[in-house]
Amino acid sequence: MVPVTPSLEVAGLAFAYPDGHQALFGVDFGIGRGERVALLGPNGAGKTTLVLHLNGILSGGAGTVTVAGLPVNRRNMAEIRRKVGIVFQDPDDQLFMPTVREDVAFGPAAAGLRGPELEERVDRALAQVGMGAFKDRPPHHLSFGQRRRVAVATVLAMEPEILVLDEPSSNLDPASRRELADILRSLDVTVLMVTHDLPYALELCPRSLILSDGVIAADGPTADLLADDALMRAHRLELPFGFDPRSVTMGA
């Protein structure tokens, strides 16, 4: 049986900013193809710094990052940035074209896709997030939840290996939160979800990583980590009042 190449491998990743602030101190983990993994941790833990290494926005420290067998380096950068799609916390940071269609088409068109193939790619990405009927609408006429779904579509249009979501549930009403969860469960893609929303992590991600003080402090089943009161206190993670992870059945 031929071994499957992991979607993501991070080994010994350390990084200091030019002002001397050390954000990562040697991060090691891997994510298999098709996994949904939550990245948890308090503010200042290094989560953003780690994510920005996944597609080469930050580099130059120690250690390695490998995406689908490709080292993240200057030679592979164009392919890496196609394979790692980041959905920002604020969809308005990602949507800037006159129509939804043009926003979703922007990345594939910049990569050279044209004609019917480009239209098919746009239609497929919008269908995946349930926004096909809004193709000709200006993004600023959509609700916040709809704009977030379009932002996801702009990344899916690039057919990524890994979908990285930064606080995907923030500012969503309960219905939009549920709709996005349904979409994420339906996608055939590896997901790394950076979130402070611990119940959402439990709902969507069978596995979680806790990043604290620039290292991976814990890696395991989300339900087990959230139920470990001492671990949660040690890394400044708090569940909503009255929420008991032991009483929740984990979704697939």
Domains of the chain, by residue range, sit at: 8-87+160-240
Question: In the predicted model, is pLDDT for residue 228 greater than 70?
Answer: yes
Say which CATH superfamily domain 8-87+160-240 falls into: P-loop containing nucleotide triphosphate hydrolases (3.40.50.300)
Mean pLDDT, residues 108-122: 94
Question: In the predicted model, is pLDDT for residue 131 greater than 80?
Answer: yes
- Give percent above pLDDT 90 in the chain: 90
Q: How confident is the model at residue 249 (pLDDT cuts 50, 70, 90)?
A: low
| pLDDT at res. 242 | 80
| pLDDT at res. 245 | 86
Distance CA 121, CA 40 (A): 32
Find the range with the poorest average confidence among 108-117, 121-130, 161-170, 235-244.
Answer: 235-244
Distance CA 77, CA 74 (A): 5
- Mean pLDDT, rounded, of the chain: 93
Residue spans of alpha helices (H) in 157-239: 174-186, 198-204, 222-226, 229-234
The two structure tokens encoding residue 127: 């269908």
Give Cα separations from 248 to 182, 223, 226 (angstroms). 17, 8, 11
| pLDDT at res. 222 | 97
| pLDDT at res. 3 | 60
Distance CA 104, CA 19 (A): 37
The residue among 124, 114, 191 whose CA lies nearest residue 160 is 191
